[in-house]
Amino acid sequence: MEEDFSKYIDKPIFRTVSEVCNENGLSAFVIGGYVRDLILKRPSKDIDIVVLGSGLDLAEKVAKRLDIDKVQYFKNFGTAMFVHEGDDIEFVGARKESYSRDTRKPIVENGSLEDDQNRRDFTINALALSLNKSSFGYLVDPFDGLEDMENKIIRTPLEPDKTYSDDPLRMLRAIRFSSQLGFRIEAESLAAIERNADRLEIISAERIIDEVNKIVLSPKPSVGFKKLYDTKLLHQFFPEMVALQGIETKNGKSHKDNFYHTLEVLDNISKETDDLWLRWAAIMHDIAKPRTKRFHDKQGWTFHGHEDLGAKMIPKIFKKLKLPLDAKMKYVQKLVRLHLRPISLVKGNVTDSAIRRLLFEAGEDLEDLMTLCNADITSKNEYKVEKYKRNFKLVEKKLKQIEEKDRVRNFQPPISGELIMSTFNMGPCYEVGVIKTAIKDAILDGHIENDYDQAYQFMLEKAKEIGVSKK
């Protein structure tokens, strides 16, 4: 027993557990992530309580004392949980684990507190605070986790090769904690991750993406992604991002390293937004650059069409990474597809029609698109950065002016497909689509106003032109 942390554990649940243990001759501790976050002053709602004995029995007794009747028992895992004052309280018996090479599922036996701490991933996650009456709030820290916390170090309690090989997900957790908390991974640990990187193959894509998303949401995600790259973990599950790395030079002309550029864009955007999907748009914005890269004697390196191909690559990548294939994916696709458009509007002679088209296509995601475009400015030349940012302000102003005038952002053409069908007495067919698109284009291009009568007249003319007549 080392230090007194009783002032930290002031929630009523801890006193109740303590009383119940005292009455029943049991010994219990609050352990793991909750203790870590308590000391780091990070909010946490997951409280893990480990007991020398049965977690199920202790949970039942504590729940009874608190008049809680909704207790979930997971008999196979020997755990039980309930919600108390908004916190998830989980009870488990102290355990000893042994692993085989081809699965994350260990053989579990009852064990001592020390056994339980030994099986944990990092010293900072192995801290336990006593809930026993005579030592309430005392820290049990056999691996100097508190010191590692002060020195901001991620270290495994046992030999790192063993900890990582037992459960390869921990390699990602090490990098995730380092990115979330701004901690350094101890050199031996980092070397062990490199050695064991291919063991990630036994981890499911769902678990991998859970950790990766936490890296994406960390304050400076490049910290995590650089480590994923250096340890070659990234190569295991996201080769398309790895392919962005590298600089090629031909005839004295080089292109930038698109991997490090992407990370700069990601860090930039992370200063502006906590939205996971906008951050994913930053990760994906140049994803097709390796596949569209060409060298021309005059122009040098080009990546023509990388925005369209990038948008096309996204469903396959999202599917493989187990990211959602719903509106969030569509949103990322849209931003990737449009990410060059605002820059192209910087040129002086841009038409109102081009502005209206962008307003229409970006719709409600226009601000996010502009955030992405601003984050995409990563030139080291301050003068250039200033110039680009100034130009963007002008584009933003133009977009605003045109939107105020023409209201095309959430625009619905005044003539619907149904009206076209009923006017010409026909069912859904190719011609309906042609007329509908023509009306939309005529409005966006400024040939007619966004107005019912003008659009109706235009519909009649277009129908005549393509040989559709009223029957």
Tell me which residues touch ligand CTP (CB under 6 A): 32-33, 46, 48, 120-121, 125-126, 167, 169-170, 173
| For ligand CTP, the closer CB: 124 or 444 | 124
Is residue 44 within 8 A of residue 33, CB to CB? The reply is yes
How buried is residue 41: exposed, middle or buried, by Cβ count under 10 Å (0-12/13-18/19+)?
exposed
C-beta closer to ligand CTP: residue 48 or 141: 48
Smaller CB separation from ligand CTP, 126 or 369: 126
Q: Which residue's Cβ lies closest to ligand CTP?
A: 33
Nearer to ligand CTP, 39 or 281 (CB): 39
Q: How far apart are CA 445 and CA 405, in angstroms?
A: 14
Compute the least distance from the CB of residue 392 to ligand CTP, in Å: 37
Q: How far apart are CA 29 and CA 111, in angstroms?
A: 14
Q: Which two three-digit tokens encode residue 226?
A: 């650089």
Nearer to ligand CTP, 100 or 401 (CB): 100
Residues present in the chain in total: 471
- Beta-ladder partners of 282: none
Cβ 177 to ligand CTP shortest distance, Å: 8
Residue 112 CB, shortest distance to ligand CTP, in Å, is 16
Choice between 46 and 453, CB closer to ligand CTP:
46
In angstroms, give the least distance from the CB of 40 to ligand CTP: 11
CA distance 426 to 76: 63
Residue 48 or 307 with smaller CB distance to ligand CTP: 48
Question: Shortest Cβ distance from residue 317 to ligand CTP (Å)?
Answer: 24
By C-beta, is 153 or 468 nearer to ligand CTP?
153
Rounded least distance, CB 352 to ligand CTP, Å: 50
Give me the least distance between CB of 284 and ligand CTP, in Å please: 25
For the bound state, the minimum distance from the C-beta of residue 82 to ligand CTP, rounded and expressed in Å, comes to 16
By beta-carbon proximity to ligand CTP, the closer residue of 29 and 388 is 29
Give the nearer residue to ligand CTP in terms of CB position, either 177 or 277: 177
Min dist. Cβ of residue 170 to ligand CTP (A): 5
Please tell me the distance from the alpha carbon of residue 209 to that of residue 207, in angstroms, as a whole number.
6
**105 CB-near residues (< 8 Å, 6+ apart):** none
**Token pair belonging to 385:** 């950065």
- Neighbour-count burial for 387-422, b at 16+ CB within 10 Å, e otherwise: ebeebbeebbebbeebbeebebbebebbbeeebbbe
Question: Strand, coil or helix: what is 303?
Answer: coil
Q: Quote the least distance from Cβ 120 to ligand CTP, whole Å.
A: 4
Structure tokens at 150: 């002060």
d(CA 160, CA 373): 42
448 backbone dihedrals φ, ψ, rounded to 5°: -130, 165
Distances (CA, A) of 341 to 102, 132, 174: 49, 64, 39
Q: Which residues contact 445 (CB under 8 A, 6 or more apart)?
A: 353, 356
DSSP state letter for 137: T
Q: Which residues of 125-149 are buried (b: 16+ CB within 10 A; e: fewer)?
A: bbbbbbbbeebbbbbbbebbbbebb
